[in-house]
Structure 1
Amino acid sequence: MWLGALVSNVGTWMEVLALGVFVTEMTGRAEWTGGVAALTYLPSLILSPLGGALADRFDRRVYIAVCALAQALLAGVLAALAFNGRLTVEAVAVISFLNGCVHVVSGPGFTALLAGLVPKEDLHSALTLTSAQFNLGRILGPVVAAWGLAMGGVAWVLLANAVSFGAVLLAVAQVKSEAQVARPATQEGFWSQLSAGVRMARGDAVIWGAMLGLFMVAIFISPFIALVPVFALQVLGAGASAASMLISMQGLGALLASGLVGPLSARWGRERVLDIAMVVMGPVTAMYWLSPTLPVAMGTMFVVGAFYLVLIAGLNTRCQERTPRELQGRVSSLAMLLINVGYSFGVWAQGALADRVGVRPTTAGAAVLFLGVVLMVRLRRARGVAVAST
C-alpha cells in the first residue's frame, strides 16, 4: 500500500505543478491559482462525512479501487484536452472540482484501511511513514514534472498522472486477509453512522482539539502549497524549475523529519514535540515568504516541510489513536472536512488578498496570525491549569 500510494502521489504532484504553472501563466493572478486549488478541496464541505460513512460501510479495498479508477479517468480527460490543444483554465477548474469530490470520499477509506493494517501501538509510526511517502512523492513529482514540461509539455505530464493510479489498484489487490481489512458491512443506518462519528469527535476533548488545530493549520499555513508557482514566478521572477525546486525542498524536509520524529518523540515525548512544532510553524513559514532570493527560499522551505510533517502527523495521530477501529473512517473524514474546508478558504482568501496588497504581506501575515492563535490557546490552557490546581 505504501509503494502504491507513493507512485500515485508522484503522478499527483506532477499534475499539481503542471496545472499550477499553467494557470499562473495563463491568468497572471494569484487569486485564480488559489481558486483552482481551492476547488479541489471545496467538496469536503458536503462529501467528507459521507466518505467516512461509506468507508466504514463497505469493503475498503473495493471502495478505494473504485475511487482510484474514477481519478484515473478524470486525469485522462485532462491529458486528452491538453493533447488536442483544448485545455483551458475553465476546464482545469471543473475537473479539479470533480477530482476533489473523488479525493474527498476516498481519503477516509485509505486512512482507515492503513489503520487496520498495523497494531494500534504502531499507528503513529504508520501515519508518519504515510506522511513521508506523501512528501517523497512531493520531492520526485515536481522534479519529473519540470523535466516533462521542458521536454514534452503539459499533456505528457498529465498523462503520466493518469497512468500512476494503476499502482494503487495493484497495491489494493495485494491486501487479501479479511482480518486486516475493515469490519464487514454494518446494518446500522447511514445517517446513524454519520451521527456516531460526530458524537465521537465532539465527545472527546483531545480529538476535537486536534481537529481544530488541523483547521487552523489549513487556513493560515497550508496555502503555501498551492501558492508556490505564484511565489516562484511572480515574486522571485523565476520559472517552473524554481517552483519544482521549492516543492521538492518541502518534501525533503518532511522526509528528514519522518526519520527523526520517532527518536525525538521517544526522547522528549510525543506531546512535547508536537507543542514545539505548533509554536515554530508560524515563524518559519513567515521566514519562507519573506525570503529575498531563491536559495534562501529553498532553505526555509526545507525547514517548513519538516515542521509541517511533524504537525500534521502528530495531530492526525491524536485523532486516530483515541478512536475505536469501527469509527476510524468517520472520524478521519471529519478531520479531512476541517482540513479541506479550511484550506479551500485559506488558499482562495490569501490568493485574492495577495493580488491586492502583495504576496509577501498577505502570506507572511497569515503565518504571524497563526503564531498568535497558538500562543493565545497556550495562554488560556495555562490559566485553566492554574485555576484547576487552586
Structure 2
Amino acid sequence: METLALGVFVTTVTGRAEATGGIAALTFLPGVLLSPVSGALADRFDRRTFVAMGMLAQAVLAALLTLMAFTGRLTVPAVAVLSFLNGCASSLVNPAFAALISRSVPPEDLHSAFSLNSAQFNLGRIIGPALGAAVLATHGITWTLAVNSLSFVAVLWALWRVRPQPPSARERREPLWTGLVRGARVAREDPTLGMTLLATLAVSALVSPFIGLVPVFAIRVFHEGAAATSLLVGSQGMGAVMAAVLVGPLVARLGRRRLLEACLVFIGPMAAVYWMAPTLHTAALALVGLGALYMGTLTSLNTACQLRVPAELQGRMSGIYSMMIAVGYAAGVWMQGALADRVGVRLITAGCALFFLALVLTQRLLRPEAFAATEAPRAPELVAAPAASPHLDGGEF
C-alpha cells in the first residue's frame, strides 16, 4: 500500500520518471553498505530479535509518513528522506530475515521455504495495491498510509511466534570485522558463489527496475492512475504466487540448476514483452509471467547462495546477496528512469531486458558448465573458520 501510494504521489506531483525512479533507488541505496553488516550481525545475535527491532523502526517511519500526510506536510523531499531511512531499516532487516528462514528449516526444504516466503510477500503485492487503490480513491493518501502503519502490528505479532535455533557459541565469539572479512573471502574464493552473486547483480540492474517504474508505465504510457498501477503491481504478485506453488514440483523434476538456467534465459524476453505491450491489459497479462519468472529467478539464486555455506555463514551470505540486489536495483532504477525521460520508457527498459538476455546467452556459450556447481556441495576447506588469534578473542563488537 505504501509503495503504491508514494509511487502515485511522486509521479503525479513531479511528472518525471527520474523522480519516481530516484525515490525507489533511495530505498535500496543504503543496502550497499548496510546489508553486509546486517548479515554479520545476524550471525552473532538472535535473528528474531534483530528482525523485530528493524521492523519496529520501519513502523515508526510509516507512522511519520502518516502524520505528515494528516497535517498536510507531505512533500517529495520528505518522501525522499523517509524512503532513505526506511531503506536503512530494510537493509538491516532483510538479510537477517532470510537467515532466520535458513535457521528455521532443514536444508532440503530451503528452496520451498524461500518460495513460500516469496508467496506471502507477493500476496501482499496483490492485496495491498488493490486495497490501496480503493482507499486512495475514497479517502486519499492519508488513510492509505495510516492502514500501512497499522499493518506492522501483525508483523511484530508473527515474529513473536517464531522460535528459531539460537546462534552457536562460535558464532557469538567471532568479532564483527573478522566475520565481515570471512564472509567476503568465502564469496570471493568460491567461483560458483561469485557467479551467482554477479547474476543477482545483473538481474537487479537490468530487469528489477520494472518494479519501481510501474507507476511511470501506468501514468505516462497508458495515461491511467492508481487503479492501473494497482492492476500491474497485483499482476506481478499473482504471477509470483503461482510460481511459488510450482517451484517445489519443478525443483523435484528439473533440479535447482536447470530451473535457475530456465528462469535466467526467459526473464529478459518476458520483461521486454511487458514493456512493449500495446495495451494495459496486455501488459498486466505479461506481468503475470514476468512476476513468476522474477520470483523463480531470485528464489533460485538466493537458495544457491545459502546452500553453498554452513549455517554460521548464512547471515553474512544473505547480506552480500542483499547488497548485490541493492547496488543493482538502486543504480538500475535511477538510470532507467533518467534515460526514460530523455529517450522514452519503452525503448530503454525493453533494451535493458534484452541486454540481460544477451549476457545470459553469452555466459552459456562461453561457460556451459557455469551453473552445474549450484547443486554440488561446497568444499569444506573453503568455509573453515580462520585460526583463532589472541588479538581477536576479546573486545569484539
Q: TM-score of the superposition, structure 1-length normalised?
A: 0.93
**Does 2:168 match 1:215?**
no
Q: Which moved more, 1:131-140 or 1:261-270?
A: 261-270
Q: Name which of 303, 310, 314 aligns with 1:328.
A: 314
Tell me the distance in 2 between the aligned counterparts of 1:101 and 1:144: 26
1:319 equivalent in alignment to 2:305: yes
User: Residue in 2 aligned with 1:344?
Assistant: 330
1:65 aligns with 2:52: yes
In the TM superposition, residue 270 of structure 1 has moved relative to its aligned partner by 2.1
- 1:1-390 map, 5 Å: 14-176=1-163, 180-183=165-168, 186-382=172-368
Deviation of 1:173 (Å): 1.5
Secondary structure at the counterpart of residue 261 of structure 2: helix
Give aligned pairs, total.
370
How far 1:183 moved relative to its partner?
Answer: 3.3
Deviates more, 1:258-267 or 1:141-150: 258-267
Q: CA deviation at 1:168?
A: 2.1
CA separation in 1, counterparts of 2:7 and 2:30? 19
Q: Deviations over 1:60-108 (max 9, x none)?
A: 1211111111100000000000011110000000000000001001111
Contact 1:65–1:169 at 8 Å: present in 2 too?
yes
CA contact 1:112–1:182 (8 Å) conserved in 2? no
Instruction: Output the amino acid matched with 1:217.
Output: V
**Whole-angstrom distance in 2 between the partners of 1:265 and 1:114:** 19
The whole-number CA distance in structure 2 between the counterparts of 1:139 and 1:254 is 10
Taking the aligned partners of 2:2 and 2:22, their CA distance within structure 1 comes to 16
Partners of 2:167 and 2:139 in 1: CA distance:
42
CA contact (8 A) 2:102 2:110 kept: yes
Task: Measure, in 2, the Cα distance between the counterparts of 1:35 and 1:383.
Answer: 38
**Map of 1:11 onto structure 2:** none
CA-atom RMSD in angstroms = 1.4
Deviation at 1:273, TM superposition (A): 1.6
Match of 2:381 in 1: none
- Structure 2 distance, partners of 1:89, 1:303, is 33
The runs of 5 or more residues in structure 1 that have no matched partner are 1-13, 386-390
Q: Give, in angstroms, the shift of residue 165 of structure 1.
A: 1.4
Deviation at 1:174, TM superposition (A): 1.5
Distance 2:277 2:5 in 1: 24
Cα drift, residue 252 of structure 1: 0.6
Contact conserved, 2:112 with 2:247, CA < 8 A, in 1? no
Amino acid at match of 1:28: G
Rounded Cα–Cα distance in structure 2 between residues aligned with 1:202 and 1:145 = 43
| Cα offset, 1:152, TM superposition | 1.0
Secondary structure class of the residue paired with 1:382: coil
Alignment partners' CA distance in 2, 1:113 and 1:152: 37
Residue identity over aligned pairs, in percent, reads: 54
What is the alpha-carbon distance in structure 2 between the residues aligned to residue 47 and residue 139 of structure 1? 29
Contact 1:108 1:333 (C-alpha < 8 Å) held by counterparts:
yes
Q: Cα gap change, 1:322/1:382 in structure 2, threshold over 3 Å: closer, same or farther? A: closer
CA contact (8 A) 2:192 2:370 kept: no
CA contact (8 A) 2:339 2:348 kept: yes
Residues 30, 88 of structure 2: 8 Å contact kept: yes
SS in structure 2 at match of 1:63: helix
Structure 2 vs 1, CA of residues 176 and 369 (structure 1 numbering), >3 Å: closer, same or farther? closer
**What is the alpha-carbon distance in structure 2 between the residues aligned to residue 45 and residue 268 of structure 1?**
34
Provide the C-alpha distance between the structure 1 equivalents of 2:250 and 2:370, rounded to a whole number of angstroms: 28
Per-residue deviation, 1:384: 8.7
Deviation of the 1:383 alpha carbon: 8.9
2:384 is matched with none
> Which structure has greater helix proportion?
1
User: What secondary structure does 2:172 align onto?
Assistant: coil
TM-score, normalisation: structure 2 = 0.91
Counterparts of 2:218 and 2:168, CA distance in 1:
46
Q: Aligned pair in 2 of structure 1 residues 254, 383: CA closer, same or farther (>3 Å)?
A: closer
Conserved in 2, the CA contact under 8 Å of 1:79 and 1:158? yes
After the TM superposition, which of the residue ranges 94-103 and 157-166 deviates more from structure 2? 157-166
SS of the residue aligned with 1:323? coil
Distance 1:126 1:176, change over 3 A: closer
CA distance in 2 between counterparts of 1:130 and 1:384 reads 27
Question: What CA distance in whole angstroms lies between the structure 2 residues aligned with 1:140 and 1:20?
Answer: 17
Instruction: Please say if residues 113 and 181 of structure 1, whose CA atoms lie closer than 8 Å, have aligned partners that are also in contact.
Output: no
Cα distance, 1:330 vs structure 2: 0.5
Contact 1:220 1:346 in 2 (8 A): yes
Kept in 1, the 8 Å contact 2:364–2:370? The answer is no
Q: Partner amino acid for 1:69?
A: L
